[in-house]
Amino acid sequence: MTLLGAAEIRALAEKLDLKPSKSLGQNFVIDANVCRKIVRTAGITSTDIALEIGPGLGSLTLALMEEAANVVAVEIDSRLANQLPITAAAHSESANNLTVINQDALQLKSLPVDPTVLVANLPYNVSVPVFLHLLEILPTLRSGVVMVQAEVADRLAAKRNTKEYGIPSVKAAWWAEVTGTGSVSRSIFWPAPNVDSKLVAFKRRADVTRRIVIALRGIWRRRGTFNRRRN
């Protein structure tokens, strides 16, 4: 397995006549060592099915394929989605273990397999909605590591009674235990973003299902009380 470096990333972009799109949050990771570090931080094993959102040109994808049993990559840009299997075949002997889905992650309702771990450089303009959406619709996701804008990372991992604590913190904490796991240099991206980045790790809460049932019962009780008052 060989991973992609800065030269390979730029060559692929040139081949596709690709100019990174701000609207799609396209900042491609060009440091193979950082990709391997992210995969190690996620604790991926040979039995995991890894889900990646926004794989771009495949830097992190190839690192995931080194460790996971299978990788599912969801990419909104059709040019990148079509190129990714070709890149995987050129760099890996296990290219058949990669499934690429050309779709907006926010529109996902299901996947052909049940992923166990999420590892992604999430598009910064939609990172929180995507993260929360995946935790909601994919109950088999037990853990993962995502790279997001530093400010967003601080909010997702914030604890009560801190200035960063807010709605993203509350929503993320409902589904998982979220912690910050370090900063990432702007220099590992092409093009370099105008904001700082951080890694966030999460572990799904085992009691989510029970807490959802309790919450729904509370809603039903309140509705019943309201209906009785109206009658």
Domain 6-206 has CATH 3.40.50.410: no
Q: Which of 109, 107, 118, 110 is nearest to 141 (CA)?
A: 118
* Span 27-78, pLDDT tens digits: 999 999 999 999 999 999 999 999 999 999 999 999 999 999 999 999 999 9
Q: What is the pLDDT of residues 68-101, one digit of tens each?
A: 999 999 999 999 999 999 999 999 999 999 999 9
Taking residues 220-225, report their average pLDDT. Answer: 56
Q: How far apart are CA 149 and CA 130, in angstroms?
A: 14
Find out whether 152 and 127 touch, Cβ atoms under 8 Å: yes
Nearest to 182 by CA among 203, 199, 161: 199
pLDDT at residue 1, as a whole number: 82
- Give me the chain's average pLDDT, please: 91
- The mean-pLDDT minimum among 199-203, 211-215, 223-227 falls in 223-227
What's the confidence (pLDDT) of residue 134? 97
Provide the pLDDT for residue 56: 96
Environment class of 135 (CB within 10 Å of its CB; exposed 0-12, middle 13-18, buried 19+): buried
Retrieve residue 29's tokens: 């990771």
pLDDT at residue 22, as a whole number: 81
- pLDDT score of 230 more than 50: no
How high is the pLDDT of residue 225?
47
Task: pLDDT band for 213, please (50, 70, 90 cuts).
Answer: low
**Cis peptide preceding 191, ω within 30 of 0:** yes
126 contacts: CB under 8 Å, gap ≥ 6:
25, 105, 106
What's the whole-number mean pLDDT along residues 179-200?
Answer: 95
pLDDT, tens digit, 9 for 90 and up, residues 130-169: 999 999 999 999 999 999 999 999 999 999 899 999 999 9
- CB within 8 A of 31, min separation 6: which ones? 5, 6, 59, 187, 188
Tokens of 159: 């604890």
User: 15-19, long-range: CB within 8 Å, 24+ apart, which pairs?
Assistant: 15/83, 16/79, 16/80, 16/83, 18/79, 18/80
25 pLDDT band (50/70/90 cuts)?
confident
For residue 10, which phi and psi values (nearest 5 degrees)?
-65, -35
* C-alpha–C-alpha distance, residues 174 and 60, integer Å: 28
Closest to 21 in 3D by CA, of 115, 123, 138: 123
List the chain domain ranges. 6-206
What confidence score (pLDDT) does residue 38 get?
Answer: 97
Beta strands (DSSP E) in the chain are 28-29, 49-53, 70-75, 98-102, 117-121, 143-149, 176-184, 189-190, 197-204
| % of the chain residues with pLDDT over 90 | 82
**What whole-number percentage of the chain has pLDDT above 70?**
90
46: amino acid identity, one letter? S
**pLDDT reading at 229 higher than 70:** no
Instruction: Pull the structure tokens for residue 109.
Output: 């309702």
